[in-house]
Structure 1
Amino acid sequence: MMSDGDLIIIPTDTVYGLAAKLYDDKALEKIYEIKDRDQSKKIPILISNINQLKEICIISDLSLKLMKKYWPGALTIILRTTKTFKEKTNEDTIAVRMPNHPIALKLIDTYGILRVTSLNKSGEQPLTNIEEIKKIFGLFIKEIYPQGDISKSDISSTIVDLTNDHINVLRQGNINISD
């Protein structure tokens, strides 16, 4: 069971993720510290169903259309946050994804929405080898959930910004949004 301050490593359909509970500030601080990540770079969230977003962000017709077409999958969508979420986190926007991996989805169902970032030091390639992951991050994490037999891509998700009601591709990944 995850307690406050705990970090876990989860598999996704793209790269392994370093995860914390959504509102666990202590665990989020650890993520920034061990990744040497700039505090201005917010940590995306992973969900297991679209209904989880009601309290967090504003869903437009365009964003809902993309969610229904590409989720679960390797598409990260940046949306404007609700007033309630902004009051809790001071974030105007949030990056959201629903991974296409049964273990990740089960963990999100178990622990709630998770803050998840790629498993690497900032600026480096994400780690894929469990032994290397244990060596570098083992002291900081509660649990490592292995990939299992599920195929994945080593390419990070496509990121689109929908905060202005049109599609702005910020990072091209497996999904080609121009389709």
Structure 2
Amino acid sequence: MDKNKILIFPTDTVYGIGTHFLNHEGVKKIYEIKGRDFNKPLQILVSSLDQVKDFVELSEEAYKLAQAYWPGALTIIVSANEKFYQLTGDKTIGLRMPNHPKAIQILNQYGPMKTTSVNQSGEPPMNDYQAIYDKYHHLVDEIYTNEEPMSEVSSTVVNLTKNPYEIIRIGNISVEDIKKTLSK
């Protein structure tokens, strides 16, 4: 399995563009393809909680949220461990486990992937396969089609490195749902 590939694939929310999290050249190319500011980090998609244990020790809050909403449309920002920092230079990490069979299959094959939505930075995510293919097929290694429904709403993002936690983006999981889960 070539972990240096750049892939476009469906998730439960929107189409994502990603590469193995240690493919530094691929990550750089994703930023260039999107015209994304290099100071805006990419999230890491994982297929299981086991893939997460190498990067972080989940706090009680993170574990509660993961148990309640993974697989699903929640990105949790946590502090990275020393090993992850040495490998990537990242001190924090945004983690998500998508609820989509094709995405999980790809993550099982390739391992954890740094990903972002398919679009030019600042524009809405693209969710039409043909439009994505026409615009990006010459820039990436593979584009996967989608046979499953997608919400077409980006994930809710919760930053647990702040005290109190900070909700960065609201998706289909509401502020009230997050508060209720964390108060249990």
Q: Once superposed, what is the RMSD of the aligned Cα atoms?
A: 1.2
| 1:6-155 map, 5 Å | 6-148=5-147, 150-155=148-153
For each residue in 1:7-38, what CA deviation from the matched residue of structure 2 results, as whole angstroms up to 9, or x when unmatched?
Answer: 11110000000010110011111101110011
CA distance in structure 1 between the partners assigned to 2:118 and 2:68 by the alignment = 27
CA distance in structure 2 between the partners assigned to 1:151 and 1:166 by the alignment = 34
Secondary structure class of the residue paired with 1:140 = coil
Unaligned runs of 5+ in 2: 178-184
Instruction: Kindly provide the amino acid, as one letter, of the partner of residue 153 in structure 1.
Output: S
Q: Which residue matches 1:2?
A: 2
Instruction: Kindly provide the amino acid, as one letter, of the partner of residue 170 in structure 2.
Output: Q
Q: CA deviation at 1:3?
A: 4.6
Aligned length: 177
Unaligned runs of 5+ in 1: none
For each residue in 1:89-117, what CA deviation from the matched residue of structure 2 results, as whole angstroms up to 9, or x when unmatched?
Answer: 11110111000001100110011011110
Cα contact 2:3–2:110 (8 A) shared by 1: no
Q: CA deviation at 1:136?
A: 1.1
Cα contact 2:55–2:81 (8 A) shared by 1: yes
CA distance in structure 2 between the partners assigned to 1:178 and 1:94 by the alignment = 24
Cα contact 1:62–1:165 (8 A) shared by 2: no
Instruction: Kindly provide the amino acid, as one letter, of the partner of residue 157 in structure 1.
Output: S
Q: CA deviation at 1:177?
A: 3.5
Bigger mean CA offset, 99-108 vs 48-57: 48-57
Q: CA deviation at 1:165?
A: 5.3
Q: Which residue matches 1:156?
A: 154
Cα contact 1:14–1:155 (8 A) shared by 2: yes
CA distance in structure 1 between the partners assigned to 2:64 and 2:127 by the alignment = 32
Poorly superposed stretches of 4+, deviation over 4 Å: none
Secondary structure class of the residue paired with 1:178 = helix
Instruction: Kindly provide the amino acid, as one letter, of the partner of residue 75 in structure 1.
Output: L
Q: CA deviation at 1:58?
A: 2.9
Cα contact 1:13–1:73 (8 A) shared by 2: yes
Q: CA deviation at 1:41?
A: 0.8
Q: CA deviation at 1:76?
A: 0.4
Q: CA deviation at 1:152?
A: 1.2
What is the TM-score when the length of structure 1 is the normalising length? 0.95
Report % sequence identity. Answer: 40
